[in-house]
Amino acid sequence: MRILHTMLRVGNLETSIKFYTEVLKMKLLRKSDYPGGKFTLAFVGYGDEATDSVLELTHNWEINTYDMGSAYGHIAIEVNNIYEVCEKIKEMEGKIIREPGPMKHGSTIIAFVEDPDKYKIELIQKKN
């Protein structure tokens, strides 16, 4: 068994695709419209779906915003240089909501960024 994807509902699909592909450097793997159901699915990730877990961005055509709820936590992404990645995200007008630094009660270096729909993404510095 393996995790295939995590689905996020997004209000503006093109804005979300731009964020994940340009700011977080993922690839748009595929995109399909479902006119009968009035929704579009876009899959983004760092590798092929056959071997890597990816994100499914779901856009319901008649809905522009969602209530976040209290159960969602975050998506985590390992990065080689967290300080450099955060600077590039800022240059692309991405929203850093926690600057890089050690996590509370630990030594792992983390940061948090927020996507256009306010989903939180944790960046984790790769350990040597």
Strand 120-125, strand 75-79: pairing: parallel
Catalytic annotation present for 122 = yes
Burial of 62 (0-12, 13-18, 19+ CB in 10 A): exposed
Catalytic residue among 14, 56, 78, 122: 122
Tell me the torsion sign for CA atoms 22, 66, 59, 42: positive
Closest CA to 72 of 29, 115, 37: 115
Active-site residue set = 122
